[in-house]
Structure 1
Amino acid sequence: MWRVNITCSNDAWKQYGSDFKAMVEKYAAECIASKKLPDGMRIMAYKIEDVSDAEAFQEDCAKFAGFTADFESL
């Protein structure tokens, strides 16, 4: 089991939020945390079963300018 952590700026979310949500639909990912900070920055975490899916999810997140992602074992 893997946790993928994603952060993005408010501007990045405004520009790519709907594309990000569509990308998430491609994976068997469960949102386990989501927080919008006062400055608009977003912090999200998704649980993914397979390590190769977690790696691919992280890589897909990085395609959106202003998004950063990493993953760790749960």
Structure 2
Amino acid sequence: MWRVNISCSGDAWKVYGTEFKAIAEKYQGELISSKKMPDGTRIMSYKIDDVSDAEAFQEYCAHFAGFTSDFESL
């Protein structure tokens, strides 16, 4: 199992939030934590079973301006 960690600014979320949610559904990740900070920054973690899917999801998220992501083993 793998955890994909994603963070983004509030402005980036306003622009890409809908598209991000559609991508998250495509990879069938389980949202294990989500936090909206007072400054609008969002921090999310998804649990994904397959390492290839985790890597692809992480790389796809990095294409959104204002998003950063990484993944790690659970």
Q: TM-score, normalised on structure 2? A: 0.98
Give the counterpart letter for 1:12 in structure 2.
A
RMSD over equivalenced CA pairs, Å: 0.5
1:73 CA drift (Å): 0.4
Percent identical among aligned pairs is: 76
Q: TM-score, normalised on structure 1? A: 0.98
Q: Which residue of structure 1 lines up, in the alignment, with residue 31 of structure 2?
A: 31
Distance 1:25 1:49 in 2: 14
How many residues align? The count is: 74
1:14 aligns with 2:14: yes
1:1-74 correspondence to structure 2 within 5 Å: 1-74=1-74
CA deviations 1:18-47 (Å, max 9, x no partner) are 010011111120000000000000000000
SS at match of 1:32: strand
Distance 1:25 1:50 in 2: 15
Distance 1:28 1:7 in 2: 18
Q: Which 5+ residue runs of structure 1 have no aligned equivalent?
A: none
Distance 1:20 1:54 in 2: 14
1:10 CA drift (Å): 0.3
4+ aligned runs moved over 6 Å, structure 1: none
